[in-house]
Structures are given as C-alpha cells and as structure tokens.
A and B are shown apart, each in its own frame.
Chain A
Amino acid sequence: MKHFVLAWMVLLGGVVALPARAAATYFTTPQVLKEFFPQSQRVTYRKVKLGPAEQAALQGRLGYKPAKAEYVFFVATTGEHVDGYALIDEELGQHEQITFAVKLSPEGTVERHEVMVYREAYGQEISDARFRRQFQGKTVKDPVRAGTDIDVVTGATISSRSMAVGVRRALILLDELVLKPDASRNTKG
C-alpha cells in the first residue's frame, strides 16, 4: 500500500511538472508576422475591398465566390524593398474554422504555411511540419489540390483539403488583388 501511494504521488507530481500544452492556438497575429519576417524593418498592411470586377475575376479563378468582401495583406518591407507578403485567413475544417497564415514571396510563391488556431477535436496532425512543408514553392500555376500535389494526412482528410483550398485561395488572392494591379500600375507609370 505504501508503495502504491508513493507511486501515485510521484506520477501526479510528474504530471504537474510536465509542460503541457492544451490550447491549440499556435500563433497570434503579431507572433506569426514576427516569425515570418524576422529580418524585415517593418510590417504594415494593405486592405483590398472586392468590387464586382474583382469578385467576378476571383470566382472565375477559384471556382467559387470568396467569403469575404475585403482582404488584408500584410506587407513586410526593408527600406523601399518589399520582403514579402502574408495573408491570414480561415477555412472550414470538418466542423470548425481553421485559422491559418501563408507567407508569400514578392513574386507570389508560397514560402511558408502555418496553422494559427486549430479548433477541431481531431486532425491536429495538419499542423505538423511534414504536412505544412508541402506548400513551400507552390505558385498560382500549381494545382494545390489535396490528393493531387498535396498529400493528405490519414484520418484528417477534410482538414488537409481545407488547408489546400486555403493556400490556393491565398495564392490567387495575392496574384489577382496585389501583384497584377501593381504590375499594371508600374507598366502604366
């Protein structure tokens, strides 16, 4: 009995001492921006409202109407040089929204993908590095489709697909709303 009580005390004590992480909040907005652009001088943002022309163009490229009427692009700069862009967005998982962030190069290539908040009961494996790493190097020319060029996590098929849909949307949003208008402005100028 004495040994049993002691064993329980050691077990409980050990459990108290273990650094448990329970909330599935991986990053807040400031944290993810500092993580994405540690070398940049500043990060600011650009809001783009979708007019009928933008909505029609996006629907044509995405295959569905974007959920928001306005998107926020974070822009990291050093001096006058644009270091990159970031987009924070949400996509429905099996039951709950998954908040994620995508870091894109000035040319619009995915450099990094992070799950910021995961609220589902299961499928948390999509926040593993080996799943997220698949998005690196993707451009608007890639399908970015679960089961085609993105391997899904076994047991988390729907969340995997949601992330593929979300990253593809980020690529197209940046291209359509930021890079294309900028290029057009530069050409005209």
Chain B
Amino acid sequence: MTPSRPLLLVLSLLLVPLAARAQDEAPPPPARDTPRVPELQPPAPPEGPRLELEGLEDPANPSGTAPPAEGTSATNEQDTFRQRLQPTSTLSQRAAAILDRTTLGGYAEHDFIVPGRGKSTFRNHRYVLFVYSHISERISTATEIEFEFAGSPLKRDGMLTTGEVLLEFSVVDLKLTDWLTFRAGVILVPVGAYNLRHDAPAQELPERPIAYTTVVPTTWFESGAGFLGGFDLGRDWRLSYEAYAINGLDARILDEQGFRAARGSHLEDNNHDKALTARVSLSPFLGLEGAVSGYTGAYDLEGRRVNMLNADVFWRIGAWDLTGEVVRAFIDPGFVQGFPDGSTGNTRDRVPTGMFGFYAQANYRFRIEPFFRLLPDEWHDGHFTASLRYEEKDTDTEFITVGDAARLTLGLNFRPLPPYVLKTSVWWEKAGGDGLKPHLWTRDFWSQGHWTALASVAYLF
C-alpha cells in the first residue's frame, strides 16, 4: 500500500519550500560569546574595517590543511569526493584521496601486576588502533580495533588458546544538524560515563572500577543504531544525549562476571527484542556534569528483561576532580538458556535477579616545581596525580557470594604530557566468599582482605 497521490503532492509542496528556505537563508553572523556553529558559507558582514591584506599568505592555511578560502572548501571537498567515485580513478588516486581525510591513531596500556596472593607478571593489556575518516562533509566513520593481551593466540596455563582481537567501536555518523547525528555500527553502550570514556590514558588509576567491568561490562559494545547530539541551554548550560536501539544482552548473565559474557552480539541477536539504551547529561558549567542513563531489553526468548539505571557525576574544583557512579540492574528471574541446541551456552545456571555497584573517586593534581625544572623542556607542563577510590560491586543482590566485593585503591601517577602517563596503584580488597557482606567499614574488610599492586604505562598516539 502507498500513500494517496494528493497527500504526496501536498507533502512535497510543504517540504520543498522548507528545504529551499534552509539553503537560502544564511544565519546571521555569530554574536560575541554565543555558542559557535560551523559556517558553510557565512556571509561577510556588510560593514566593518577595511582589510588591507595584500601580499599575505593566509595564516589560517599555512599547511594547506585548512580550507583555502571562503566558500571554496566545501566545493573542493565535494569535487574530490566525486572524483574518487569515478570508475576511471586509479587505486592510488583513491588511496590518496582516502588518506587525505583519514586519521590513524590509538592508545595502549602495559601493566606489571603484583598480587598479594599469586605470582607477579607483566601484562600486555591492550593495544587499540583508531581509524577516523571523513567520508564526506557530513559523513564520517570511526573505528577502534583492540588487541587485548597481544591478540591471538593467547598463552594461558601453558597452552595456546584463542585471544581477543575485537572491534570495540566502529560507527558511521551522519550529521543531520548540529544537535542531531545519526549513528550506526558497533556502539559504545551509553550506560554511565566510564564506558564512554574508558580509554586508559584518560584514566588516572590503572584498574577499571570493579562494578564497571561487571554490572556495566566496560568496554560494553553492541551492534545497533540511534542518535546523539547536544544543545546549549543559555549562556553556560549544556545538555547532551545519546539514544540507541541495539541487539542487547543475551542470557549469559552470571554472578561474579555480571553481564560481561552477555554483551557484544554482532553476528546475531538471540531474540526478536531490540534493547533500548540512552544517556542524558546536563552540565551547568565547565567542570561539572551529571547524567542519568539506562538500558532495557529482553535477554532470552521468553521475553525476560534486564532493566538498568545509572547515575554519574563529575566535578572539577581547582586541582581536585571528584567523580562517581552508581548502577542498579533489575533482572527478571530466569536461566542461562535459549541458545541453539547443542550450544555449550545453555548451562541452565540461574540468572541473578539484581546487581548493584558504585565507585567514588577523588583525584588531586599537583606539581613539584624543582623536579619539573630538571626535566626536558617538553615535560615542563607535566603533573602528578594522587587518587583515592572506594568501590563496591554486587553481582547477585539475593545472595552474598564471591561476586560481592569492596575495594579501596590508592594511586599515584606521573603525566609528563597529557597523552603519556605512568601509573602506580595499590588496592585492598575483600570479597564476600565467607558469607559476610564486604564493606570498608566492617572489621573483616581489613582482617580478611588482601592487597594487590599494579603499575602501568598508558599512552595515546
């Protein structure tokens, strides 16, 4: 069935003038300190100073990377893009055109861990490659390829096993307006801030919060599509959002591991339900941001659901960064089942009915001036950061098990440059395997817990 012709005609008549209006009407020049929007072809103000710039090479284009002149950048980029699509263009021409608009980068983290119980080891924890590319003016793609523990094969207990090479993030963005971008691909699930900003060089402590590797299984990625964007609200306030439909978690939901084994369905969904997830953040001024986020989706074929709520806050006060998150998951009672017959995934283990976790962290940046004066010039703006984090997780709220844990971490790092950081930390942890709920304020936390030390180097390139 199709819409009636008169209706289509009316719709076309309504939309064509709107489209024409958007292209014809140029916005007024931005006022001082108003929020900026990129200008495709902004008009020159009718009045103003006489510019006497003859003989001057445009300083905004010293390396040829900036658009050459007013009104020509978009045209040239589009011309190049069209030429690339010509069947007569050679492979090298295409490659050159792609490389012109592609950025390669990444980050890595290498650890040395000394557990209070067990043996010390170096760990090649993660090596992540970024590829960013502007396909056209409005369309861009971003991908992160992660090699965890150096990829595959992985030597475990003396045997070569399968390691991990993953697309943790691979999206294509279509910018519709300044406040609305359509995103599709492998998406970082926007539950909490940590999952979205998990890059090791951006974090002050080398180990991720325990609740945010289990209840929120960072890095939590799923195949899906949706929208993101942000608005300025007045002079200082800003509201940002992300909302997606994704394949969602499957039924491999377990105590201790949380949702970790249930994430990442890229080949197929385990049911017809599509999970919905969103995060809305509000920032009243630079340095303070609060957000709420959530997830809802069926995890098995019978429609039993996982619902998750998260709140996060970040507050920078002078040299202090205060940050924290809390998450609560509500899970319909069920079992690990519903995978194809013969799958080892059908363990029929009981699925926990609730999970909970939080962390609160304080970071203090400081400098020791005499020390920095001894360093090479390019490190003179570096700093140290001392961190303190307390956190808990409970991957089955009905029972006290080893999935309950409380941890207190003290960290010190040295960051000579923003993209490079040497981190050290030591934490004290107590799990609930003895049937006692672990908390910092209970005596057995100190008497029954154990320590672990971790040092790492993380860098962004």
Q: Is the CB of A121 within 8 A of B142?
A: yes
Chain A interface residue number, banded: 35 or more
Given contacts A34-B49, A155-B197, A158-B419, contact A13 B18 (CB under 8 A): yes
Q: Is the CB of B377 within 8 A of A63?
A: yes
Q: Is the CB of B2 within 8 A of A2?
A: yes
Q: Is the CB of B232 within 8 A of A23?
A: no
Residues from chain A with a CB closer than 8 A to the CB of B73 are: 23, 25
1/0 per residue B22-45: CB within 8 Å of A? Answer: 100101011011111111101011
Please measure, in the bound complex, the distance between the C-alpha atom of A26 and the C-alpha atom of B45, giving whole angstroms.
15
Please measure, in the bound complex, the distance between the C-alpha atom of A38 and the C-alpha atom of B378, giving whole angstroms.
38
Residue A76 at the B interface, CB < 8 A? yes
Please measure, in the bound complex, the distance between the C-alpha atom of A23 and the C-alpha atom of B2, giving whole angstroms.
37
Shortest CB-to-CB span from B2 to chain A, Å, is 6
Residues from chain B with a CB closer than 8 A to the CB of A131 are: 286
Given contacts A2-B1, A17-B22, A20-B175, contact A25 B377 (CB under 8 A): no
Given contacts A21-B38, A21-B39, contact A44 B52 (CB under 8 A): yes
Shortest CB-to-CB span from B315 to chain A, Å, is 10
Residue B159 at the A interface, CB < 8 A? no
Q: Is the CB of A117 within 8 A of B33?
A: no
Residue B69 at the A interface, CB < 8 A? yes
Q: Is the CB of B34 within 8 A of A129?
A: yes
Residue B314 at the A interface, CB < 8 A? yes
Residues from chain A with a CB closer than 8 A to the CB of B27 are: 19
Among A49-57, A89-97, A171-179, A181-189, the one that faces the other chain is: A89-97
Residues from chain A with a CB closer than 8 A to the CB of B232 are: 128-129
| Other-chain residue from A5, A35, A64, A145 in contact with B378 (beta carbon distance below 8 A) | A64
- In terms of DSSP, what is the predominant structure of the interface of chain A? mixed
Among B132-140, B272-280, B352-360, B392-400, the one that faces the other chain is: B132-140
Residues from chain A with a CB closer than 8 A to the CB of B166 are: none
Please measure, in the bound complex, the distance between the C-alpha atom of A45 and the C-alpha atom of B60, giving whole angstroms.
14
Residues from chain A with a CB closer than 8 A to the CB of B14 are: 13
Q: Is the CB of A25 within 8 A of B38?
A: yes
Residues from chain B with a CB closer than 8 A to the CB of A95 are: 103, 105, 132
Shortest CB-to-CB span from B370 to chain A, Å, is 16
Q: Is the CB of A6 within 8 A of B56?
A: no
Q: Is the CB of A127 within 8 A of B180?
A: no
Please measure, in the bound complex, the distance between the C-alpha atom of A40 and the C-alpha atom of B105, giving whole angstroms.
44
| Other-chain residue from A25, A43, A146, A165 in contact with B52 (beta carbon distance below 8 A) | A43
Residues from chain B with a CB closer than 8 A to the CB of A18 are: 22, 176-177, 180
Please measure, in the bound complex, the distance between the C-alpha atom of A10 and the C-alpha atom of B383, giving whole angstroms.
53
| Other-chain residue from A10, A13, A22, A147 in contact with B365 (beta carbon distance below 8 A) | A147
1/0 per residue A90-130: CB within 8 Å of B? Answer: 10001111010100000000001011111111000101111
6 A-B pairs within 8 Å (CB atoms) are namely A13-B14, A13-B19, A34-B48, A40-B49, A41-B49, A129-B235
Residues of B within 8 A of A (CB): 1-3, 7-8, 11, 14-15, 18-19, 21-22, 25, 27, 29-30, 32-40, 42, 44-45, 47-53, 56, 58-60, 62-63, 65-67, 69-70, 73-74, 77, 103, 105, 132, 137-138, 140, 142, 175-178, 180, 196-197, 202, 232, 235-236, 238, 285-287, 289, 314, 316, 319, 365, 377-378, 380-381, 383, 418-419, 460
Q: A22-B137, A28-B58, A101-B60 are in contact. List 9 more A-B contacts (CB 8 A).
A: A19-B27, A21-B37, A22-B38, A27-B60, A34-B44, A35-B29, A90-B62, A116-B66, A127-B36
